[in-house]
C-alpha cells in the first residue's frame, strides 16, 4: 500500500508562551537606550536605535537568514529564501533609485553606498561567503541570533569583531591592488534604465530558483502551517519570509531617511575591534583606515555617536524582545568543540572579508545593490561561490546541511 506525503513537516506543536520577564527587560532596554541617546546625542540617534530594534524583531520573527537561504539552495535547490531576497531588493531599488538620483529626501541630503570594484572586493566577498557557512550566520544573522540567545553566535560575533579590526589594519594594502573606481548604475544609466536592468536580473534569478527547485523536488517546497495566526502571529511570530522581505526593504529606506545613507552593520565591528586594540596598546592611530578626521573622531569618541553601532545594539535588543515574545529565549552554554572552532574561524574571516569587500551582506549586498553600486553585484557573485565552498566544509565541523527527503511511496 502506498501513501503520498502531503506536507514537508508534521503539524507544529503547541507554541510556548511569552517569557514576560525577558520581554519586559528587553522593552526596558529599548526605552532606556532611547532616553540615554536622546539626552546624550540627539532625538534622531534615539530613533535610529529604535529602528535597529525594529530590524532585529523583523529578522527574528521572519527568520530572515541570508546564510541559510543560500545554503539550502546550494545543497538542496530550495529557493524560497533567495526569492524573498530578490523581492526585498526589488522593493529597495524602487524606493532608493529615484531618491538617490535626486540627492535629497525630505529636504535632507542622502547618499548611497557606492564602492570600488577590484581584487579586494572579490577576495573579501568570497571569504565572507565561506565564513557565513562556518560561522553560522552573516552580519545581520549573527546579531539577531546572538540577541535571540545563541551562545555559539556570541563566539562568532566576538571573532567577527576581531577579524574586522585586523581587516581595517590591512585594508590599505588590499585597496592598493588593481580596482575600478566606484560605479553607480543610477548615475551611469539613469534611473529608469537602471531600474529596468536590476528588476530584470532579480526576476531572472527568481525564475532560475523556481526551475531548479521543481527539477529537484518536483514542486516548490512549502513550509509547514504556522502555529499562530492573526494578531498573535504578528506580535509573536513566526512571520512569512515575504513579510520579512518587505519590512526589511522599508526599514532600510527609513534608515536612509534618518541617517542620510543606507543600512550597514560591519563598520561598527571594525570600530569596536579597533577600540579594543587601542586599549591593548596597539598603534591603531597609524592605520590608514583611521587617518581621516572623521574616522579619528569616531575612534576616540563614544560609540553612542556612531549610527551603525547604535543600530547594531538595537538589533540585538530587538531580537531579544522577539525571542521572548515567541517564548524561545533559552541560551545553552554547551557548544561542541568542532562547532566552536568553526564559529571562531568563521567569525574571523567574516570580519576580515567584510572590511576588504567594503561591507557585508547588508552594507555591500543589500544596501550596495539598493544604492545602484556595481560592487554590490560583484559582491553577490563572489560571496555565492564562497558559500558553495563553505557549505561543503560544514560537515567537517559537525554542522548540518539541511535537506528535504524526497517524496516516495511505501
Render each residue's pLDDT in the chain as its tens digit; 410 residues. 333 333 444 455 667 788 999 999 999 999 999 999 999 999 999 999 999 999 999 999 999 989 999 999 999 999 999 999 999 999 999 999 999 999 999 999 999 999 999 999 999 999 999 999 999 999 999 999 999 999 999 999 999 999 999 999 999 999 999 999 999 999 999 999 999 999 999 999 999 999 999 999 999 988 777 777 878 788 888 999 999 999 999 999 999 999 999 999 999 999 999 999 999 999 999 999 999 999 999 999 999 999 999 999 999 999 999 999 999 998 888 899 999 999 999 999 999 999 999 999 999 999 999 999 999 999 999 999 999 999 999 999 999 998 886 544 33
Q: What is the pLDDT of residue 408?
A: 40
CB count in 10 Å sphere of residue 105: 17
CA angle 130, 132, 138 (to 5 degrees): 145
Q: How far apart are CA 319 and CA 300, in angstroms?
A: 29
CA angle 147, 153, 157 (to 5 degrees): 90
DSSP string for residues in 252-277: HHHHHHHHSS----HHHHHHHHHHHH
What lies within 8 Å, CB to CB, of 172 at 6+ separation is 287, 288, 289
- Domain ranges in the chain? 20-397
Q: What is the pLDDT of residue 232?
A: 79
Strand ranges in 71-152 using DSSP code E only, listed in sequence order: 104-105, 108-109, 117-118
CB count in 10 Å sphere of residue 246: 16
Q: How far apart are CA 361 and CA 66, in angstroms?
A: 8
Whole-prediction pTM value?
0.93
Residue 5 backbone phi and psi in degrees, to 5: -70, 120
CA distances for 197 relative to 125, 191, 201, 202, 263, angstroms: 23, 10, 6, 9, 23
Q: For 270-324, how does the pLDDT look when each residue is reduced to its tens digit (9 = 90+)?
A: 999 999 999 999 999 999 999 999 999 999 999 999 999 999 999 999 999 999 9
What lies within 8 Å, CB to CB, of 205 at 6+ separation is 82, 86
Q: For 199-237, how does the pLDDT look when each residue is reduced to its tens digit (9 = 90+)?
A: 999 999 999 999 999 999 999 988 777 777 878 788 888
Q: What is the pLDDT of residue 3?
A: 36
Q: What is the pLDDT of residue 5?
A: 35
Helices (H) and strands (E) in the chain, counts: 17, 4
Q: What is the pLDDT of residue 6?
A: 37
Alpha helices in 136-265 (DSSP H): 139-147, 151-175, 185-189, 191-217, 230-236, 241-259
Amino acid at each position: 500500500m502506498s501513501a503520498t506525503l502531503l506536507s514537508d513537516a508534521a503539524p507544529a506543536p503547541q507554541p510556548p508562551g511569552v517569557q514576560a520577564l525577558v520581554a519586559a527587560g528587553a522593552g526596558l532596554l529599548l526605552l532606556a537606550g532611547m532616553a540615554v541617546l536622546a539626552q546624550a546625542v540627539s532625538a534622531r540617534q534615539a530613533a535610529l536605535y529604535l529602528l535597529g530594534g525594529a530590524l532585529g524583531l523583523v529578522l527574528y520573527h521572519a527568520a530572515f537568514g541570508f546564510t541559510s537561504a543560500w545554503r539550502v539552495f546550494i545543497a538542496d535547490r530550495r529557493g524560497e529564501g533567495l526569492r524573498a531576497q530578490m523581492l526585498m531588493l526589488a522593493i529597495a531599488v524602487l524606493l532608493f533609485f529615484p531618491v538617490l538620483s535626486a540627492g535629497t529626501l525630505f529636504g535632507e541630503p542622502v547618499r548611497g553606498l557606492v564602492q570600488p570594484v577590484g581584487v579586494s572586493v572579490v577576495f573579501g566577498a568570497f571569504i565572507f561567503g565561506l565564513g557565513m557557512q562556518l560561522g553560522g550566520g552573516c552580519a545581520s544573522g549573527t546579531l539577531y541570533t546572538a540577541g535571540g540567545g545563541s551562545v555559539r553566535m556570541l563566539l562568532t560575533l566576538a571573532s567577527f569583531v576581531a577579524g574586522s579590526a585586523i581587516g581595517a589594519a590591512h585594508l590599505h594594502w588590499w585597496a592598493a591592488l588593481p580596482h575600478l573606481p566606484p560605479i553607480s548604475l543610477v548615475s551611469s544609466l539613469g534611473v529608469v534604465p537602471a531600474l529596468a536592468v536590476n528588476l530584470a536580473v532579480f526576476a531572472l534569478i527568481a525564475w532560475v530558483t523556481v526551475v531548479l527547485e521543481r527539477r529537484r523536488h518536483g514542486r516548490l517546497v512549502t513550509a509547514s502551517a504556522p502555529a499562530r495566526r492573526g494578531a498573535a502571529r504578528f506580535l509573536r511570530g513566526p512571520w512569512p519570509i515575504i513579510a520579512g522581505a518587505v519590512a526589511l526593504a522599508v526599514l532600510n529606506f527609513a534608515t536612509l531617511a534618518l541617517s542620510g545613507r543606507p543600512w550597514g552593520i560591519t563598520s561598527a565591528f571594525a570600530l569596536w575591534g579597533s577600540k579594543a586594540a587601542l586599549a591593548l596598546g596597539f598603534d591603531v592611530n597609524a592605520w590608514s583606515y583611521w587617518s581621516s578626521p572623521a574616522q579619528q573622531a569616531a575612534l576616540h569618541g563614544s560609540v553612542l555617536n556612531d549610527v551603525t553601532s547604535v543600530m547594531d545594539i538595537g538589533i540585538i535588543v530587538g531580537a531579544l524582545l522577539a525571542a521572548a515574545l515567541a517564548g524561545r529565549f533559552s541560551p545553552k552554554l554547551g557548544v561542541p568543540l568542532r562547532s566552536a572552532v568553526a564559529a571562531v574561524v568563521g567569525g574571523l574571516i567574516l570580519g576580515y572579508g567584510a572590511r576588504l569587500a567594503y561591507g557585508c551582506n547588508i552594507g555591500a549586498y543589500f544596501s550596495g545593490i539598493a544604492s545602484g553600486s556595481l560592487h554590490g553585484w560583484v559582491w553577490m557573485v563572489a560571496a555565492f561561490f564562497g558559500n558553495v565552498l563553505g557549505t561543503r566544509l560544514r560537515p567537517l565541523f559537525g554542522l548540518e546541511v539541511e535537506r528535504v527527503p524526497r517524496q516516495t511511496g511505501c
